[in-house]
Structure 1
Amino acid sequence: MDPTKNSPFPSLFGKSPFGALTEHMRQVEKGSSLLMEFIERSQAGDWDAAEALHQQINDCEHEADDLKDRIRLNLPSTLFMPISRADLLVLVEAQDKIVNKIKDISGLMTGRRMQFPDALQAPIRAYLETTHASVAQARKVLEELGELLDSGFGRSVGELIADMVAELGRLENTSDEQQVAIRRQLLPLESELPPLEMMFIYRVIDAIGSVADRAERAGSRLQILATR
């Protein structure tokens, strides 16, 4: 099947690629929201619900992949915008890495039936909220940049989104601080849990932080595009 046949993407790109990019980022944000629900259900030991949520995350990742492929196939070689085709392809790849990591987290936790120690439930919840806020903020930056460029706004686009990107950086820094605090809380628990289990807990904690980091990178990429 020809993925370009009867596709709305060519006509969309005739005006701007940001509609398709935003649709992709919304799938990424949906995956982030589902991850919060997934960990809540896994902590409660409701593995039927957790596995269903993991499947929904998989579906988000597959939809994001499909959107990424259609963007690549339909993005014109020449755009009537101050942004190159190559830059936009790098951006969609950066967005896609976020949802890929989200899927990795839920897949690992589902396969091993992983749960965090009870003492970490509140810190992990706060950590996930910060991570999700980072993904949501990256989506907001993308929407704002697309609207400004589509409207031909006369002032510096870079200046207008600078505060939004700064907030994204603040969220990523908060995520780093929360990760350090969680690791510190884990130290006295290491002797109580099997070493292999501890290794995977640390791996998931790192991966959650990677989601916020990748969202911040996508936002930074947008800021670079806005200043060109």
Structure 2
Amino acid sequence: MLSTNPMAALFGKSPFKPLQQHMRCVIGCVREVPPLFEALIGHDQREVNAQKVRIFTKENEADAIKNELRVHLPRSLLLAVDRRDLLELLAIQDSIADVAQDIAGLLVERRMEVPEGMAEPLTRFVARCVATCEQAHSIVEQLDELLETGFRGREVEKVEAMIVELGHMETDTDLMAISLSQALFAREDDIKPVSVMFWYQLIQWLGNLADGAEKVGDRLRLLIAR
């Protein structure tokens, strides 16, 4: 009798297919963050609100896949990797979409104005954080090839190199966050204290996108090592 569980059917082909499907939703959510800040910098609150809706919609799609995966992840099926590893990777991926949602929510709940002189470095910072998430997505898309090679050989070397590059990219975002925070604090006498606080929070949250991406790479490095 054929299984009526769509997730189980996916796992029958590969333990990574649902994770890849989830990560595609996550990266779709993250890709909406640069247009969100473009609208903010351009003083287009209507577009900020529209981007918030897009981000929330895509985050909800990622949540739906996450919940289905958690409920239907086979317990008895012999998987190529430990069930706990899959669930931990799923949680890390999902945290990235959650952060994007938090950022969008704040920019709608509180009208924010970009401090003078911060628009250009902020745009570069956002782009680098998103690129770091894109790198994590690219690595997750390599999981089927890893499975086919039995987690050995050139494919492992390729993925490990991608993970190393991911770490370098996340380090870049750390340095950019420090620079942006310094620029913010240099102007704190000209900005309302509460605005300084919220901008500092936004910088931290943007950095958390890249942090989450690096954690995906770290978890996959452990998975490969096993």
TM-score (norm 1): 0.92
Q: What's 1:178 paired with?
A: 176
- Amino acid of the residue matched to residue 195 of structure 2? E
Q: What's 2:131 paired with?
A: 133
Consecutive unaligned residues of structure 1, counting only runs of 5 or more, are: none
Q: What's 1:40 paired with?
A: 38
CA deviations 1:136-192 (Å, max 9, x no partner) are 111111111232204546527543311000011001000000011111212221000
Q: What's 2:195 paired with?
A: 197
Q: What's 1:220 paired with?
A: 218
CA deviations 1:168-217 (Å, max 9, x no partner) are 10010000000111112122210001101111010100110111001100
User: Aligned residues, how many?
Assistant: 224
Matched, 1:100 2:94: no
Quote the sequence identity (%): 34
Consecutive unaligned residues of structure 2, counting only runs of 5 or more, are: none
The 2-side partners of 1:79 and 1:218 are apart by 24
- Amino acid of the residue matched to residue 49 of structure 1? E
The 1-side partners of 2:152 and 2:45 are apart by 53
Are the aligned partners of 1:17 and 1:75 in contact in 2 as well (CA < 8 Å)?
no
Q: 1:55 to 1:204 in 2, by over 3 A?
A: same
TM-score (norm 2): 0.93
CA shift, 1:73, in A, is: 1.6
Matched, 1:73 2:71: yes
Alignment of structure 1 residues 107-118 onto 2, 5 Å:
107-118=105-116
CA deviations 1:111-134 (Å, max 9, x no partner) are 101122131111111111110011
Farther off after superposition, 209-218 or 15-24:
15-24
- Amino acid of the residue matched to residue 97 of structure 1? S
Out of 15, 20, 23, the position equivalent to 2:21 is 23
- Amino acid of the residue matched to residue 222 of structure 1? L
The 1-side partners of 2:62 and 2:116 are apart by 33
- Amino acid of the residue matched to residue 226 of structure 1? I
